[in-house]
């Protein structure tokens, strides 16, 4: 019975992500509760089993799905994925009323029982093969390179590979449309207000003052992933 309800929960997540104005119903809350029970019964070392709550949106191979507003999970550093999952679970991300998609992830992340489950889930995602994301943002890569070198490279690395010592995640290989969205959230203060790491990006956001600047930089980052 619980497994059937988990299937209903995964289907609900699919519909929830498709909606521009998602809502939490009594049925979805009950399904989420049952999903949490199933996840709690799963072995903390079984990341593949835990991933069932993720694949409806992020895909069976972590490849993401833009139509569902779900970014790729591969090509990202495990330490950063863990930090973001914990931020969603603990209410440090996805709490802002204007962060619709962040609220979705927060609700899903809270179905995981504990940090051991997060570790197992991240380890499983890290085992999935990476891929070069499709280019959806087109800008001036030369201007983007200049801006990236001046503004971003010192933290995120010359090849946008990230730097854990500076708390800076990889950017190359992350969906370009997702990077644009997240930068906009930082610029508006919707993301980062309750997260000491996110606040760093909030402070840096004015360094790219226009949408064109952001497009150019993201276009350049995408070119690094394609090399």
Lowest mean pLDDT of 30-44, 54-68, 70-84, 136-150, name the range. Answer: 30-44
Q: What residue ranges do the domains of the chain occupy?
A: 2-127, 141-226
28 or 96, higher pLDDT: 96
Domains 2-127 and 141-226 share a fold: yes
pLDDT at 194: 83
Evaluate whether the domain defined by 141-226 bears CATH number 1.10.760.10: yes
Per-residue pLDDT tens over the stretch 119-157:
999 999 999 988 899 999 999 999 999 999 999 999 999
pTM listed for this prediction: 0.82
Structure tokens at 87: 């931020």
Domain covering 2-127 in this structure, CATH number: 1.10.760.10
């Amino acid at each position: 019975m619980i497994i059937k309800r988990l299937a209903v929960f995964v289907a609900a997540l699919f519909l929830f992500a498709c909606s521009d104005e998602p809502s939490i119903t009594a049925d979805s809350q009950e399904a989420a509760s049952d999903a949490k029970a199933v996840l709690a019964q799963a072995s903390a070392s079984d990341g593949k089993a835990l991933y069932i709550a993720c694949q409806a949106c992020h895909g069976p191979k972590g490849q993401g799905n833009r139509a569902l507003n779900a970014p790729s999970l591969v090509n990202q550093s495990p330490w950063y994925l863990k930090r973001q999952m914990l931020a969603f679970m603990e209410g440090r991300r996805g709490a802002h009323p204007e962060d619709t998609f962040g609220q979705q992830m927060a609700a899903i992340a809270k179905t995981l029982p504990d940090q051991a489950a997060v570790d197992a889930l991240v380890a499983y995602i890290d085992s999935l093969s990476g891929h070069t994301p499709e280019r959806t943002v087109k800008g001036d890569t030369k201007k983007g390179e200049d801006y990236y070198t001046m503004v971003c490279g010192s933290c995120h690395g010359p090849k946008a590979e990230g730097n854990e010592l500076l708390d800076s995640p990889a950017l190359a290989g992350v969906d370009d449309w997702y990077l644009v969205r997240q930068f906009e959230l930082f610029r508006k203060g919707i993301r980062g207000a309750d997260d000491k790491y996110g606040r760093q990006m909030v402070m840096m956001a004015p360094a790219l003052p226009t949408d064109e600047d952001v497009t150019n930089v993201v276009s350049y980052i995408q070119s690094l992933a394609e090399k």
